[in-house]
Structure 1
Amino acid sequence: MRVLVLILTLSFTVTTFSQNIKFGKVSKEELEETVNPLDSTANATYLYKYRKSYFEYEQEEGFVLKTDIHERIKIYNQEGFDYATKKISLYKSNGGNEEDISNIKANTYNLVGGKVIDVKLNKSGIFESKDNKYSNEVKFTMPNIKPGCVIEYKYQITSPFWSNVDEFVFQHNIPIKKLEASFSTPEYFNFKVNTKGFLSVVPEVESKRGSIVFNNKTRSGQYTVRTTYSSSEVEFTKQISRYNLENVPALKNEPYVNSINNYRSSIKYELSFTKFPQSTVKYYSTTWEDVVNNAYKSSSFGEELKKTTYFQKDIDALIGSVSDPVKRMGLIFDFIKSQVKWNGYYGYYSGDGVRKAYKDHVGSSGDINLMLTAMLRHAGLNANPVLVSTRTHGIPLFPTREGYNYVVTWVKLPDGSVALLDATDKYSVPNVLPYRALNWQGRIVAKNGGSGLIDLYPKTKSKNSMTMMVKIDEEGTLEGSYRSIKTNHRALSFRNSYNEANKDDYLEKLENKYNGIEISDYEVKNDLDLSKPIQESYKFVKESQVDIIGDKMYFSPLFYLKTSENPFKLEKREFPVDFGYPSITSYRMIINIPEGYKIESVPESAAIGLPDNLGSFQYKVVGNGSTIQVSVASQVNQPIVSPIYYEALKKYFNTFIEKEAEQVVLTKV
């Protein structure tokens, strides 16, 4: 994906970088501020955001990466209270190395009787927990939070993982008044700079001299031991990149974004190579080929694909009498889904090994789908793993080791067709990947370590076809029956929400969704038969769906199912609209009007389309005696819509919302 750059109006300061905002020195003016002067919709604002990342040499440990954080946030209202809770992830490795946090200081400030009153965060309010096997989490919630308060915290992180520098983020969901950041690296480390987002952010770079002091202690003498202390100093050059920004606008989220982080202004420092004194150059991943080769050669990836003994007897018994490749694929796919449960961990490597995951009947996405690939290969099918970045992880714009965080399976069948499989979701079927995996392109890893890109978005439309029979009584109450048929991703989404829920709770939520509709005879067919569409049906009663004024009745022919709000509200959108998959939504309704009334008018039929066949909307209402027939079909033909079509898309939604709001008029005879 091409990186888009839009230069916004920012105030850049190129004076000497310094942390001139002191911790604890919050002003009355900051506390008296009721709205952000440049963004009155903001619930909170970063008054100050400071980060300094740098390398230090520790004689026992070698180089470590340190990061100093200082943030001050103004909270305007209760909606901004979420920013009073801070969560910090600390990485750890299987080898026992882990990041450490220290020097936490945090205060909340309020204006009481014209005086600035601060309340400190107690150590008892800081909680550390094991997030997962790869990270710990430190969490604290600021005390004495009130609308209008200011919170402030600072801390330091020491990391042994100097090859993994956290992204420098320059834009958030709330505005930033002042941002200062710096990254200092010794000459022994060479980093590649990757930039993304819509802000033009250029660092001020300078070189300085630094030094490392080595302290030595030696003992000598046979009978009288003498200790001699000495020190030596090694000088080196360090490069410092500084960022100083003011009045950074908030990055506004909107519906149908795969991950807003893809468009957030940030800089990622990726280690290219190291060159230490008296040592050879050590290169790190710098191309996608390097990333793929490193994965393929890894004992937790490529080697796991070669293991077959742990499943061989089971798979041979499963497919022994089946020769059809498609049926073999289906049997193995269903077998994995029933035998190994996903533990919720992402990753394309195997965690503790596929053999253990198979034995324990639980594993990560890497365990499950590498296992699936190996089984399909054992069955004689052309199968390869596909590296994927999930929607929340973002689009892998640059070749980094962290670019992908997930894996699925690609199968090419003898007839030339291709299937994408993900056995982490027990309701998934071939070419219907879980929504989390629908994110632009994946990278196939072939048996020889080669790679190629593949589109992850489905080509077949997901359907939700609804049929209703409705009767209106003289009080304007609806009574009728509803039936829907759902396919592909619409069926997958329904099965995950319905099958995993308490049925009474599910029905109650459905009734609340439609503002108090009374549902009876609720039935779902094929909820566990993945080879067939979902069929949902029920009877219902819904009051107050008709306006009665004098001797006339007024109502929208879609009643409570009409679209009432345009999801696209931004004046201008710089990033694509991501629907996830192409779809068709259709309604067919027969409405019986009450006795003693006749049809005075119905909305005119309409057909509108998006440019370049991106989508269409068809709307038809026909009155015939005592019945009204309604036919509505809305379809999205492409999962991704370029921002150049945003105005057309926004207008398209407005048009069909207005059309669905048009009313049928009945007159008393």
Structure 2
Amino acid sequence: MRIVTLILCYCITLNCFSQNLKFGKISKEELEEKVCAIDSNATAAYLYKYRRSYFEYNTNSGFELKTEIHERIKIYNQEGFNYATKKIRLYKSTGGNEEKVGTIKAYTYNLENGKIVEVKLAKNDVFESKDNKYSNQVKFTMPNIKPGSVIEYKYLITSPYTSNVDEFVFQHDIPIKKLESSFSVPEYYNFKVNTKGFLSVVPQIETKRGSITFTNKSRSGGGYAAPTRTTYSTSEVEFTNTISRYNLENVPALKNEPYVNNINNYRSAIKYELSFTKFPNSGMETYSTTWEDVVKRVYKSSSFGEELKKTAYFKSDIDALIGAISDPRKRIELIFNHVKSNVKWNDYYGFYSGDGVKKAYKDHVGNVGDINLMLTAMLRYAGLNANPVLVSTRRHGISLFPTREGFNYVVTWVRLEDGTEMLLDATNKYSVPNVLPFRALNWQGRIVAENGGSGLIDLYPKTKSKNAVTMMAKLDDEGGLSGSYRSVKTNHSALTFRSRYGGADKDDYLEKLENKYDGIEISDYDVKNQKELIKPIIESYKFVKESQADIIGDKIYFSPLFYLRTSENPFKLENREFPVDFGYPYTSTYRMIINIPEGYKIESLPESIALGLPDNMGSYQFKVMGKGNTIQLSVVSNINQAIILPSHYEALKEYFNTFIRKETEQIVLTKA
């Protein structure tokens, strides 16, 4: 699904005070403001957000990309203190090129005894660190922050990466009172403009002449009779700059909501993607213009296509592993497990190989590209139809437009002769075919074929994940509950559990589980099939939990799901503009047998119900029966689609409201 830009008309004309936008010109009105006029719930707000990006010619290195930043933020209360910390990401390459930030000028302003008091950010409070091999980070926290403070900072970033223009972001999770941005591009660069979000963002376009002055040096003489003479001359080259200006006022906050794959997918922003360059006396060099162009450029890279062709480093190991095996499914299983067990993921993302697949195999560690390109190459060597799939992870966002920057991950696709397709990711040791890690479940991926061709593939699983809970419980006459719990988990439910439980300290894990259920006491805790990945996870324990029923007079009241019931609807907004993304389809089942206290009988039970979402997107069944001193409960909840569109949000919200109300209904016991 493509996200389209919806044009909304904002007619807000709130002007609470006159604002001087020059750096350091803070007014008392700004400091005295207690509540944001745009959003009374805002913990902070941008009073002014300024960005100017432009190209400047350096006689030694050519064009550089410059970005000037000036931001002024109002802190309304203590919850807004985190906006006093700024992180600046600076890209770098293994070749030594890197972005640099100039002097940071920053102040905190407070109103004390009716006077504006400013505190300057000290140089030793600015910290530089290595983020990863591809980026550095500059971080600072503003001093003397209080409720009511205004902070302001400005800096300049110089970048050698003229093709990589950071996204112009026009909406944040706090409101913006005034925004000014501009992008100036010389005629030698042609950028596509990609727009996303729900705000109407239309630039003002103008052109201006620019020039580059070159200094030429020549020497003459130098013979026996004449000294060497150096003369200098200058020449000038003129060109046209195209400037796009963006001016917005009173921009509302974009607030995160439950079950959004990545809120940045819906944030109002402009992305400039380099299409081609054409310099004087040079031919045109094209960049990302279509998905076919993107895939071909990726495939031709020595860190991608060439790595897929290498086999010598693993040939003997794979021959020994599958030499006697002809079943293609078994071959896939053996090779998949071989990679998972021999090469550990170093937590670096990327679809290109890092230091080469051969080195990753030898050192038993590599990035995502190393591991899954290696897996693809091994499967091809084994005679299987395998290709890499470019993916944008959930944190990275949806790749809406043809761009290499839109991807940051790669998995492996395999197709058998009977038409069966599998998606594999060997970065997670608990992963199985068609159960990708949750981070990779993000709409569609793009298959990269051997000849550089491509096609789309849905990353969401078709098979439901299941969590089936069985509980045998006994309620005593003081409202305490004791019994046994058993759950059976498959697919993504099992993968999630294995990933959390496998790397955790077991005592710490149990403590967190007891805290999750508000002080339950757990004993005889056991997990089966933790390492047998083709089998479901079976979790079991015995428990004791107090205060699970209300005793009023000679009656006992309790919810039959006790501490397992859903108590709160995650969908609270009246309207929602974004899809609801559950990640994968699932079935949750609860089957409970409850023994009631001696001397009591069943007075009333909740009615059974069956609910359904439109277009078979989901269903819910609640059945409860009682006989003698035993109550049997069955609850089955199905979400049949990973993605539910905003058009069905109202139905989904009411669906959750209805079954949550049902799960809070009480069983009533009375003394016999």
SS in 2 for 1:255: coil
Task: Identify if the C-alpha distance between structure 1 residues 62 and 122 changes in structure 2 by more than 3 Å, giving closer, same or farther.
Answer: same
Amino acid at match of 2:92: K
Partner of 1:605: 608
Deviation string, structure 1 residues 165-209 (Cα, Å, up to 9, x no partner): 111010111111100000001111111111111111000001111
Partner of 1:267: 270
Distance 1:234 1:270 in 2: 26
Amino acid at match of 1:155: Y
**TM superposition shift of 1:50:** 0.3
Partner of 1:182: 182
Q: Does 1:331 find its partner at 2:321?
A: no
Partner of 1:393: 396
Deviation string, structure 1 residues 86-116 (Cα, Å, up to 9, x no partner): 1111111122111110021111111211221
**TM superposition shift of 1:11:** 5.9
Q: Does 1:565 find its partner at 2:561?
A: no
Show structure 2 runs of 5+ residues with no match.
14-18
Distance 1:91 1:3 in 2: 28
Assess if the C-alpha contact under 8 Å between 2:298 and 2:404 holds in 1.
Answer: no
Assess if the C-alpha contact under 8 Å between 1:10 and 1:246 holds in 2.
Answer: no
Residue of 548, 557, 582 corresponding to 2:585: 582
Kindly report which structure 2 residues correspond to 1:516-535, keeping only aligned pairs within 5 A, or say none: 516-535=519-538
Q: Does 1:294 find its partner at 2:297?
A: yes
**TM superposition shift of 1:12:** 9.7
Distance 1:35 1:603 in 2: 46
Kindly report which structure 2 residues correspond to 1:274-313, keeping only aligned pairs within 5 A, or say none: 274-313=277-316
Q: Does 1:662 find its partner at 2:665?
A: yes
**TM superposition shift of 1:395:** 0.9
SS in 2 for 1:603: coil
Amino acid at match of 1:287: T
Partner of 1:101: 101
Amino acid at match of 1:38: I
**TM superposition shift of 1:234:** 1.6
Assess if the C-alpha contact under 8 Å between 1:46 and 1:178 holds in 2.
Answer: yes
Partner of 1:69: 69
Kindly report which structure 2 residues correspond to 1:435-474, keeping only aligned pairs within 5 A, or say none: 435-474=438-477
Distance 1:8 1:447 in 2: 44
Distance 2:218 2:113 in 1: 64
Partner of 1:16: none
Deviation string, structure 1 residues 65-96 (Cα, Å, up to 9, x no partner): 00000111111122211111111111111221
Partner of 1:343: 346
Partner of 2:54: 54
Moved more, 227-236 or 425-434: 227-236
Distance 1:45 1:551 in 2: 56
Show structure 1 runs of 5+ residues with no match.
14-18
Kindly report which structure 2 residues correspond to 1:200-239, keeping only aligned pairs within 5 A, or say none: 200-222=200-222, 223-239=226-242
Distance 2:141 2:25 in 1: 21
Distance 2:242 2:144 in 1: 42
TM-score scaled by length of structure 1 = 0.98
Q: Does 1:196 find its partner at 2:196?
A: yes
Amino acid at match of 1:571: E
Amino acid at match of 1:245: L
Deviation string, structure 1 residues 597-629 (Cα, Å, up to 9, x no partner): 111101000001100000011001111111111
Partner of 2:16: none
Distance 2:12 2:533 in 1: 57
Assess if the C-alpha contact under 8 Å between 2:475 and 2:594 holds in 1.
Answer: yes
Partner of 2:2: 2
Assess if the C-alpha contact under 8 Å between 1:11 and 1:247 holds in 2.
Answer: no
Distance 2:113 2:478 in 1: 58
Amino acid at match of 1:174: I
Amino acid at match of 2:26: V
Distance 2:79 2:618 in 1: 36
Partner of 2:647: 644
SS in 1 for 2:308: helix
Assess if the C-alpha contact under 8 Å between 1:218 and 1:228 holds in 2.
Answer: yes
Q: Does 1:149 find its partner at 2:181?
A: no
Distance 2:370 2:523 in 1: 43
Assess if the C-alpha contact under 8 Å between 1:325 and 1:414 holds in 2.
Answer: no
**TM superposition shift of 1:20:** 5.9
Deviation string, structure 1 residues 202-241 (Cα, Å, up to 9, x no partner): 0000111111122233343325343433322222111110
Assess if the C-alpha contact under 8 Å between 1:101 and 1:155 holds in 2.
Answer: yes
Deviation string, structure 1 residues 349-399 (Cα, Å, up to 9, x no partner): 101100000000000100000000000111111111111111111111100
**TM superposition shift of 1:473:** 0.9
Distance 1:466 1:524 in 2: 14
Distance 1:33 1:658 in 2: 42
Moved more, 185-194 or 215-224: 215-224
**TM superposition shift of 1:401:** 1.7
Deviation string, structure 1 residues 414-455 (Cα, Å, up to 9, x no partner): 222111100000000000000010011111111111111111
Moved more, 602-611 or 413-422: 413-422
Assess if the C-alpha contact under 8 Å between 2:350 and 2:368 holds in 1.
Answer: yes
SS in 1 for 2:631: strand
Kindly report which structure 2 residues correspond to 1:36-51, keeping only aligned pairs within 5 A, or say none: 36-51=36-51
Amino acid at match of 1:230: S
Distance 1:475 1:28 in 2: 62
Assess if the C-alpha contact under 8 Å between 2:5 and 2:195 holds in 1.
Answer: no
Distance 2:466 2:546 in 1: 29
Q: Does 1:23 find its partner at 2:23?
A: yes
Assess if the C-alpha contact under 8 Å between 2:460 and 2:642 holds in 1.
Answer: yes
The percentage of counterpart residues that share the same residue type is 77
Distance 2:32 2:435 in 1: 53
Kindly report which structure 2 residues correspond to 1:367-386, keeping only aligned pairs within 5 A, or say none: 367-386=370-389
Amino acid at match of 2:84: A
Q: How many residues align?
A: 664
SS in 2 for 1:103: coil
Partner of 1:246: 249
Distance 2:37 2:595 in 1: 55
